[in-house]
Amino acid sequence: MNNFTYIAADTPKQAANIISQNPDAAFIAGGTNLIDLMKENIAKPNQLIDLNKIPGLDEITELPDAGLRLGALARNADTAYHPLVQERYPLLADAILAGASAQLRNMATNGGNLLQRTRCYYFYDIATPCNKREPGSGCAAYDGYNRMNAILGSSEHCVAVFPSDMCVALAALNATVNVSGATGERQIPFNEFHRLPGDTPQLDNNLQHGEIITSIDLPPGGLNKNYSYLKLRDRTSYAFALVSIATAFELKDGLIVDARIALGGVAHKPWRVTEAEEFLKNKQPAKESFTQAATLILKGAVGLKHNAFKIELAKRAIVRNCLTALNPDK
Amino acid sequence: MKSEPQVINNEHDKLPAALAPELDIVLRVNGHDRTITVRPWVTLLDALRGRLDLTGTKKGCDHGQCGACTVLVNGKRINSCLTLAVMQTGNDITTIEGIAQDGMHPMQQAFIDHDAFQCGYCTPGQICSAIGMLNEGHAHTRGDVQELMSGNLCRCGAYTNIVDAIMEVKEAQGNE
Amino acid sequence: MQQKYIGKAISRVDGPAKVTGTAKYAAEYNVPDLHYGYVVNSTIANGEIEKINLTKAAMVDGVVKIYTHENRPSTAWLSLNYADMDAPPGKPFVPMHNNKVVYNGQPIAMVVAKSFEVARYAASLITVEYKADKSDTDLVANLQNARDPKKGLASFLKPPPPKPKGNAAKAYEAAPLKAGGSFYHGVEHHNPMEPFATTVVYEDKDKLKIYDKTQGSVNTQMYVANVFGLKFKDVRVLSPFVGGAFGSGLRPQYQLFLSVMAALDMQCNVRLTLNRHQMFTFGHRPATLQNTFYGADADGKLQSIQHESVAETSTYEDYTEIVVNWANMIYPSPNVNLQYKLAPLNMASPMDMRAPGGATGMHPVEITIDELAHQAGMDPVEFRLLNYTDEDETTGKPYSSKELKECFKQAAEKFGWAKRNPQPRSMRRGHKLVGWGMATGIWEAMQVPTRAEAILTADGKLTVRSATADFGTGTYTVMAQIAADAMGMSLDNVTFELGDSDMPFAPISGGSFTAASCGTAVQAACLGLKKKLLKKAQSTNAEYKSVNLDDIAFVDGQLQPTNSAVKPIAYTDLAAASKNKQIASKNMGWPQMMKQRKYTRAAHSAIFAEVEVDEDFGVVKVTRLVSAIAAGKILNPKTARSQILGGMVWGISKALREESVMDHRIGRFMNTNLGEYHTPVNADIHQLDVIFVEEDDQIVNDLGIKGIGEIGLVGVPPAIANAIFHATGKRVRNLPIKLNDLM
């Protein structure tokens, strides 16, 4: 861990001002990922700006349109167990509780969850090349041990996956990220928040240096009747996903009127394919349609040496999870 | 705490800058205010073990992947290895040394009765985690306990005994 | 001897210290003026260090010294001086010996600073330039280099395979039933929860007190004295609590060498703790490739056993384990061919890891037997009973005791095996295919000479001590039980102490031999103490002059002569009348070699497993395991059950979870953390049942103890693999079994 100074900010504006003057500073909230990265000498900020003392950012409040605003500093656990989240957005609650451990969820914040970095083995080992960690050094995972790596949307420069569970549900629920910076505030639709690696894999998302996530908005209609979150991994709990899936339907008169299917553990961002969701609309929910949707979602998937199985695994998981979403209580 | 931000210049090719100044901070641990002098890079775990000689809290992985460092902060369990001591001022921190008022906490006794440990190294973390879990109130079944205790690894493999111990305490609490 | 405590389910005597956090481990002695080390590890697997740049690191405020191969103080010249009690044939690794890199992760520099954080930071500023040579780390790609292992001291406890018998290849060809295949498992690391750590207290010139994480305080003492040229008496090693070891503490690890080197050189107190990544930079269970070819006649009687194995070792030591010997120990066959070879690779030397060799070798054996049973159309238990033996055919000796049949019976009954439909894929619950499988386990019962001292004081307390270890094994508790019974005292008045090289000699604690070895020593010391008590009684009390030891009962803290005319005497009175108000006896517990040599002595087990396998995803859940253990006398069913439960969890882990994944391009392990080196979590472990089968064995030792540290693991992985076959019809031979193997 490198040498750094510490300051606690009182307001988002103050935090933004401090960081705007120092390109090597970093915000810290829950710390569960950043401190880990600092111990690995991957993140080396020379100054930490503690956001935890900023009042008001840890609240979960109803929006006038019956949506819900999740404060960026609200802890993952407090979000998952919040009565309004449980009632209106149970898919989000399930996704959060499928991630990490109870201890980590008690510390980790909602804003931080969006900003967590990949668990690619090579990103984490500074003795190996990694374009995300050190642009231009190469991607050791591409021909290396890549069981946990991407099958969709990757590039020759980076095959890392984004490890969050929570964000898979947020993607499916069409959330919006509220951001505050030195130049003001803006809103980023969730599906535009994270990036694909392309030739700039060092950029995980479209947040600018100095911008702070203040909250995440969930639109009304949490799809709380027909939903399911499925996570497949190498142990029963406390492991990152090989494939995870957030599925939600709105059904009317025996037909699917709205379908959301987002995948985690397969790409550099939560993966949604509009074509597949449109395909399911106005159809009766049936295994055959789900199988076709799965094929559409995995279109263009490329398996690497150690993770090709994830393509078929993802297809099967999509079908199963669609069926489960029809009867979420079972 | 100083309010003026300080910046260290440690650009890559330059020689290392002077270390960040040490700060006097007050941590409230097990009901007592303890003043320590630390640089910002000292984790809560290292502050407890090294500066306060509270070595009951264990360092198993130092990366939030084993749970041996679990302590209670304001009643909730966290990994003390993934937070900085300077970030924990104003919070109420409880370690294994502080969970019993007098004698043993029922969870400690249950761990002994069910032989819920062997080498003992994960044990303080397991016990703090179990107490935190029951405080949090989301464990209703044996399966819930297994899932919600999965942040605490035990390499000796005492898991079934750990769950037995916790269920006993949980049921006794429920009957109160 | 009256057995008031032996055999009773007594709570661990060290429990209160462990649940309150007062039990102190090696890195928890906060002595004054402590200096902190932090190690830098190599990032290549083979080659030379050309340059280490220390400039930046040295400039950090608080750094006191940085050691590399270029400036480290000289230590012993002879390789022999570095050989610890568990050293295999070859030349032990010496940290920072020269500029050669022999494995990836090798320690190459150490910063010593006034705080842990400064040392860690400075270490991150050190850069290294290498001349890298090609490295070979993939066992399967280097089979052409396999050769016979070198022999050495270690071969005594790990004999090479017996000579071939009959013509196994011909018999295999002729056999109507044939089974076998190729089995591979990769490297596993012990990963005890407590990282390796040493705190060195510099007491005086050339005089050290060392808190070390070790399975043998005397082993550490001997190593330090030999390497650094110190007198044994000036090196005191303490390890009262060890946070798990599983074999990793059988050899001194490099933090010991480096911290002692720095303490002696800087003349100050030094602590060095390894981080979790560094826990992957020394010994491990070696990757092993095995092939089996078994043949049976039409009735299912084995006619041919062929089992060959190639295991990885380092370029500098020949680490061996018993891998292929087991098959013919438990299954008779007229034709047998067992081969065991090593392939040296650019890796750290492997080392003993829970049930070394046994867990490895019994996996192919028990799967191949399951395959044969399936082919023969026989129940796997019946097939094993048909091929049962009370004699170890590899040596021609009978077993001193073997209640394996009873294990089968009791475990099968508890499991409900009788209801099994032999057809694979015949059971399901929703999306889950359900399978039932079973396997046998075996582990040799060993005993090594160990000393103990028993001290009785006038306050009525008995203290027994030996330099042995308790790393979760229950030694503190069971030794106190043995002593209390031996002396006829209340357990409350008996304390057992361990983990201190100043105490009477004990070898490293491993191989499941500690209970038998130290237990025998405790009995010997108590017998010695009884003799001294009688002698004292005779010198103070005339009526005892003609009383023999055999004519006295030692109960309730008294000498009670069978002749009721002679009055009992309390131990406390005799101690009070002695010098220093105490009576003590130090004795050696010897194995009964003459009795033992005529027999093979081993613990056995039968394991029955139920698994659910998701038919779409291949996710395996071990829903139930029943393990019946025949391991002689069980000293404490409570702590013993925990040992077996731990072995079963290890079995689940070996079958389905753990593997150190290496990138062979760079010879580097890639998942060196507990997030990605998967050991089971609580949610992975479901119903586990342990049965101890009664087994009386007068040959192994007086107490009838066989040891239980390893047997709980052996046989569990094949039982799970066989259950997976029964669930899915798919035979997976490699470990660990991942979901994609079953999709």
ipTM score assigned to the predicted complex = 0.98
CB contact under 8 A, B151 and A100: yes
Domain limits, chain C: 26-134+192-275, 142-188+284-446+597-741, 448-590
> Is residue A72, in this structure, part of any structural domain at all?
no
Q: What is the mean pLDDT of residues C407-424?
A: 98
Q: Please give the pLDDT value at position C154.
A: 75
Query: C682: nearest CA in chain A?
Result: A237
The alpha-carbon gap from A298 to the nearest alpha carbon of chain B, in Å, equals 31
Mean pLDDT of C198-225: 97
- When pLDDT is averaged across residues B138-152 and rounded to a whole number, the result is 98
Domain ranges within chain B, ordered by starting residue: 23-98, 106-174
The pLDDT value given to residue A330: 54
pLDDT of B176: 53
Q: Is A225 on the interface with B (CB under 8 A)?
A: no
Q: Are C129 and C51 in contact (CB under 8 A)?
A: yes
CATH ID of C142-188+284-446+597-741, from 3.40.50.300, 3.20.20.70, 3.40.50.720, 3.30.365.10 = 3.30.365.10
**Amino acid at site C221:** Q
pLDDT value, residue A222: 87
pLDDT for residue B6: 61
Q: How confident is the model at residue C611 (pLDDT cuts 50, 70, 90)?
A: very high
Note the CATH number of domain B106-174: 1.10.150.120
pLDDT at site C155: 75
C58 touches chain B (CB under 8 A): no
Q: Which of A152-166, A178-192, B151-165 has the lowest mean pLDDT?
A: A178-192
Residue B153 has its nearest CB partner, among C193, C275, C639, at C193
CA distances from C312 to A40, C185, C199, C319, C351 (A): 30, 11, 33, 8, 11
Nearest to A219 by CA among A255, A183, A260: A260
Probe site for chain C from A2, A119, A145 (most C CB atoms < 10 A): A145
* Residues 6+ positions from C126 with CB-CB distance below 8 Å: C40, C52, C53, C54, C56, C57, C66, C109, C111
A176 touches chain C (CB under 8 A): no
- A190 to chain C, any CB pair closer than 8 A? The answer is no
> In the prediction, which pLDDT does B2 show?
34
Question: Nearest chain B Cα to A36, which residue?
Answer: B63
pLDDT digits (tens, 9 = 90+) for A196-231: 999 999 999 999 988 999 999 999 998 999 999 999
**With respect to CATH, is domain C26-134+192-275 assigned 3.40.50.150?**
no
- Contact map slice: A 226-255 vs B, CB within 8 A: 236-238
Q: What is the rounded distance in angstroms from the CA atom of residue C387 to the CA atom of residue C71?
A: 62
Is C673 touching B (CB cutoff 8 A)? Answer: yes
Catalytic annotation on C28?
Answer: no
Distance CA C508, CA C247 (A): 10
CB-based burial, C578-592: b 16+ in 10 Å, e otherwise: beeebbbbbbebebe
Structure tokens at B74: 């304001």
Asked if the domains C142-188+284-446+597-741 and C448-590 are classified in one and the same CATH topology, the answer is yes
What confidence tier does B5 reach under pLDDT thresholds 50, 70, 90?
low
Q: Nearest 5°: phi and psi at B6?
A: -120, 140
Task: Establish if A264 belongs to a structural domain.
Answer: yes
pLDDT of residue C715: 98
Characterise C618 by phi-psi region: left (phi > 0), alpha (psi -120 to 50), beta (else).
left
pLDDT at A294 over 90: yes
More confident residue, C153 or A181: A181
C32 interfacial to chain B (CB closer than 8 Å):
no
**Tokens for C360?**
């490895």
> Which of B17, B147, B151 is facing A104, going by the closest CB pair?
B151
Q: How many angstroms away from the CA of C21 is the closest CA of chain B?
A: 4
Instruction: Look up residue A39 and give its two tokens.
Output: 């111990």
**Within a 10 A sphere around the Cβ of C562, how many other Cβ atoms?**
11
Nearest to C38 by CA among B46, A217, A295: B46
Report the SS3 class of residue C199: strand
A143 touches C at CB < 8 Å: yes
Chain C residues touching B147 at Cβ < 8 A: 682-683
Q: What percent of chain C has pLDDT over 90?
A: 98
User: A316: domain CATH number?
Assistant: 3.30.390.50
Share above pLDDT 90 across residues of chain A, in percent, rounded to a whole number: 95
Q: Give how many domains chain A has, as a whole number.
A: 2
**Percentage of the residues of chain A whose pLDDT score is greater than 70:** 100
Integer Cα distance of B6 and C175 in angstroms: 81
Q: Residue C601: its pLDDT value, please?
A: 98
**What type of residue sits at position A143?**
D
Q: What is the pLDDT of residue B102?
A: 83
pLDDT mean over B115-121:
98
For residue C547, pLDDT beyond 50? yes
pLDDT band of C514, cuts 50, 70, 90: very high
- The fold of the B23-98 domain, in CATH, is Ubiquitin-like (UB roll) (3.10.20)
CATH entry 1.10.3680.10 includes domain C448-590 = no
> Which amino acid is it at C700?
V
Distance in Å, alpha carbon of B63 to nearest chain A alpha carbon: 6
Mean pLDDT value of segment C641-666: 98
Query: Are B151 and A25 in contact (CB < 8 Å)?
Result: no
With contacts defined as CB-CB under 8 Å, which chain C residues touch B69?
Answer: none
Stretch C239-265: mean pLDDT, rounded? 98
- C2, pLDDT greater than 80: no
- What domain range is A240 assigned to? 226-326
pLDDT number for residue B10:
52
| Cβ pair B121:C191 closer than 8 A | no
Neighbours, chain A (3 or more CB pairs < 8 A): B, C
CB atoms within 10 A of CB C556: 12
> Which residues in chain A have Cβ-Cβ distances shorter than 8 Å to C743?
309, 312-313, 316
Query: Closest by alpha carbon to C392, among C600, C582, C586?
Result: C600
B6, B41, B86, best to mutate vs chain A, most A CBs in 10 Å: B41
At C439 the three-state DSSP class reads strand
